[in-house]
Amino acid sequence: MAMSETEMMLKGYGLTTAEMFYRMPDHIHVINSFVWQDYDQAPDHKRLFEFIEFWQNEIDGPLHSVRFAHRKMISPGEWRNVVGEFTFH
């Protein structure tokens, strides 16, 4: 059974975005890009590496490079100590 996005975030998953640069199969000197997003866990990035492995095995365009970023969607909020309070009319 698939987890909801909220359940995944509570279990430590965050949004991983990867930009993959690959060479066109018919025009090897042309580099194109593809953007992929999924919820994944850092630092292992299991789903990202599974997708890269799938790409290498099933897609004709060879990968040139991959850039990715990971952001946890639920994180501890910022807390600050407030000493005084001002009221304006």
pLDDT in tens, the chain (89 residues): 677 887 888 788 889 999 999 999 899 999 999 999 999 998 899 999 999 999 999 999 999 999 999 988 766 555 566 677 666 66
Query: C-alpha dihedral over 5, 8, 71, 62, to 10 degrees?
Result: -90
**Domain membership flag for residue 86:** no
- In this structure, what token pair is assigned to residue 34? 């593809």
**Domain membership flag for residue 60:** yes
**Domain membership flag for residue 50:** yes
Distance separating alpha carbons of residues 75 and 89, to the nearest angstrom: 35
For the chain, how many structural domains are there in total? Answer: 1
pTM of full prediction above 0.85:
no
Per the structure, the complete domain to which residue 66 belongs is given by 9-72
**Domain membership flag for residue 58:** yes
**Domain membership flag for residue 35:** yes
**Domain membership flag for residue 21:** yes
